[in-house]
Amino acid sequence: MKGTTVGRSKASQRWTYINFHNFSTASGRESRPASWPSNNLLASDKVTMVRANFNTDTDDHLLIGSPGDNTVFYNDYGAIGADSLPQNDQQTHMVYGIDDADAPRMPFNRSDYFVSSTAGTVPPFCAPSTGVLYKMTVSHSDGAYAPNPLLDCVADMQVVLGWDTSEGGGANSIDAWSSLPSEDTGDVTATGPSGIATSIKSWLTDAESLREHLKMIKVYVLAQEGKMDRNFTFPQATMIVGGDGEGSLTRGGVPYTFAANQLNYRWKLYRITARPKNLLSNQR
């Protein structure tokens, strides 16, 4: 996942905006960040800015670089100068914290989520064939991954994507669902209009189409509850790691099958649903 808030620094959880203010002063205008009683950005925080124009359909979300050098996509919050401020009352600049100290490698944070069953990392009370759900965040200083365990005893994790297939995503509704793309071919399994899997495969490799059509992300995590109970037998031999009608979209259409040595554990299917607000299709 890519976004400013998926980082682990305090700065990545901070943001503000700068409006254009027109006063009767010698300069004719004054632009300043909005502030709150607490959790404001610090002067040394590394930030990126996005210009939001409301009077045009072009460049409505434009990344603003450092003044005089647009190849530099970040700035110290305390060093934002007049050249980076809104120039008229149709502009608002959104300011997002990226990192506390390190110079950003990219204008966002990146975190990968996966289940690992590496020997020696899974707690002994976990059922066989389970692992640990990790969040691995890319360090801006050296590009290395910093591991952060989130949940023990995870048997499986699956993701389902919801799409608005209308022209430009203008219908503001979800009429197709798909799996994640195959790592080998990029192919997806999808339900919805005829031939939609081909379109989704194309949208996943085009940033503009992705912003227009992707509306929802659903994450399913099958995890153990409690410890082993020899007096208990889990009542299901298999489980679809997904919602109703999504059996063909997760695990290649094959339900998760519990091994005999997993049946003396209780299992729960967690569902996390997200509608990313920065996607164009969710702003209508």
Question: Do 121 and 218 sit in the same domain of this protein?
Answer: no
Query: Which residue, chain included where needed, has tokens 């210009």?
Result: 51
Question: Do 227 and 177 sit in the same domain of this protein?
Answer: yes
Question: Do 46 and 115 sit in the same domain of this protein?
Answer: no
Mean confidence (pLDDT) of the chain: 89
Q: What percent of the chain has pLDDT over 90?
A: 67
Question: Do 259 and 176 sit in the same domain of this protein?
Answer: yes
- How many structural domains does the chain have? 3
Asked if residue 13 has pLDDT above 70, the reply is yes
Question: Do 146 and 168 sit in the same domain of this protein?
Answer: no
Domain that holds residue 191: 157-282
Closest to 237 (Cα-Cα) out of 255, 221, 218, 257: 257
Q: How far apart are CA 198 and CA 252, in angstroms?
A: 17
The answer to the question of residue 266 being in a domain is yes
Question: Do 74 and 167 sit in the same domain of this protein?
Answer: no
Question: Do 169 and 263 sit in the same domain of this protein?
Answer: yes
172 falls in which pLDDT band (50, 70, 90)?
Answer: confident
Mean pLDDT of 8-17: 94
Task: Note the pLDDT tens digit of each residue in 234-279.
Answer: 999 999 999 999 999 999 999 999 999 999 999 999 999 998 766 5
Question: Do 193 and 266 sit in the same domain of this protein?
Answer: yes
Q: How far apart are CA 116 and CA 131, in angstroms?
A: 5
Task: Note the pLDDT tens digit of each residue in 114-151.
Answer: 999 998 999 999 999 999 999 999 999 999 998 999 99
pLDDT (0 to 100) of residue 59: 54
Q: Which pair of tokens denotes residue 82?
A: 């007049």
169 falls in which pLDDT band (50, 70, 90)?
Answer: confident
Question: Do 259 and 165 sit in the same domain of this protein?
Answer: yes
Question: Do 92 and 187 sit in the same domain of this protein?
Answer: no
In terms of pLDDT, which residue wins out, 168 or 227?
227
- Count Cβ atoms below 10 Å from residue 271 Cβ, excluding itself: 12
pLDDT (0 to 100) of residue 88: 78
